Chains A and B, each alone.
Chain A
């Protein structure tokens, strides 16, 4: 029996929401980052599923590029984290609040 394609989409949605919850709730910066990667991954899954539905390879190409961009973004973001850590010696986002009024 083939898997109805909609299950993939539902799975991706669930993963995305788990990732969102994590991004909004975790204290450690690294953990937030991980949650964001989770969200990206869920999006990729959705794209591939759509590509399958329409039989169009554009979705897969999109994922290819999304992957590359995610890599770039992770690199720069982690670099920023290092920089912040050097300055503030903490990753706890509760403590990184200089932009308050």
Chain B
């Protein structure tokens, strides 16, 4: 039963990944990515992280990919003539690299972990309470810093994307100011 679920999710993930990479229409690519991400969220659940699964769907699909769609619409990106580049050198190179890398990593994983079995999930290890406890004690500092990072990103993104000249610096006080 789990096997079926796993195969479905895995198959969907890989399939839509291939579509993301090979389709000419950017909107279709984005949508395929949504499918992949949702499948991944399901895999997260199977691995015992429902919290992350929820986050994945909320953030990734719900925010980031929506942003992507916004930009695609804004820039009126058309479908391209060919999805991938003409340069055969790049194609071959990228292909080779990817395949080699895949082979290496898979072999590595297989060698290391093919025998490993994991304990079945306990209910309390999966619950949100545990996650929250960890997040707000051991990882409090990174948590706060992430907030700062997001602030910086927001400022940066708005500044980078704005139209026209930079905002003028405030004029110096005209009168009554001691030098």
Assess A/B contact in the complex (Cβ within 8 A): yes
Contact in complex: B157, A45 (CB < 8 Å): no
Contact in complex: B47, A22 (CB < 8 Å): no
Question: A49 → chain B, closest Cβ, in Å?
Answer: 6
Question: B108 → chain A, closest Cβ, in Å?
Answer: 9
Contact in complex: B118, A61 (CB < 8 Å): no
User: Which A residues lie within 8 Å of B63 (CB)?
Assistant: 71
Contact in complex: A31, B47 (CB < 8 Å): no
> How many residues of B sit at the interface, in one of the four size bands?
35 or more
Contact in complex: B68, A34 (CB < 8 Å): yes
User: Which B residues lie within 8 Å of A61 (CB)?
Assistant: 134-135, 138-139, 142
B71, B110, B159: the one within 8 Å of A10 (CB): B110
Contact in complex: B160, A1 (CB < 8 Å): no
- Which residue of chain A has its CB nearest to the CB of B14? A14
Contact in complex: B95, A21 (CB < 8 Å): yes
Contact in complex: B77, A91 (CB < 8 Å): yes
Given A8-B43, A22-B20, A71-B150, residue A82 in contact with residue B85 (CB < 8 A): no
User: Which B residues lie within 8 Å of A41 (CB)?
Assistant: 36-37, 40, 60
Question: B55 → chain A, closest Cβ, in Å?
Answer: 6
Given A19-B21, A48-B52, residue A85 in contact with residue B75 (CB < 8 A): yes
Contact in complex: A52, B135 (CB < 8 Å): no
B14, B59, B75: the one within 8 Å of A18 (CB): B14
Which A residues are within 8 Å of any B CB, using their own CB?
A: 1-11, 13-22, 24-28, 30-31, 33-35, 37-38, 41, 44-45, 48-49, 51-53, 55, 57, 60-61, 63-65, 67-76, 78-83, 85-86, 91-92, 94
Q: Could you jot down 29 A-B contacts, CB within 8 Å? A: A2-B118, A6-B109, A8-B43, A8-B47, A13-B109, A15-B17, A22-B21, A24-B94, A25-B85, A27-B82, A27-B83, A28-B26, A28-B80, A31-B29, A33-B68, A38-B33, A44-B40, A44-B52, A48-B43, A48-B47, A52-B47, A55-B119, A61-B135, A63-B52, A72-B150, A75-B153, A76-B153, A82-B74, A91-B75
Which B residues are within 8 Å of any A CB, using their own CB?
A: 2-3, 6, 10, 13-14, 17-18, 20-22, 26, 29-30, 33, 36-37, 40, 43-44, 46-49, 51-52, 55-56, 59-60, 63-65, 67-68, 71-72, 74-75, 77, 80, 82-85, 90-91, 93-95, 97-99, 101-102, 105-106, 109-110, 113-114, 116-120, 125, 130-131, 134-135, 138-139, 142, 146, 149-150, 152-154, 156-161, 163
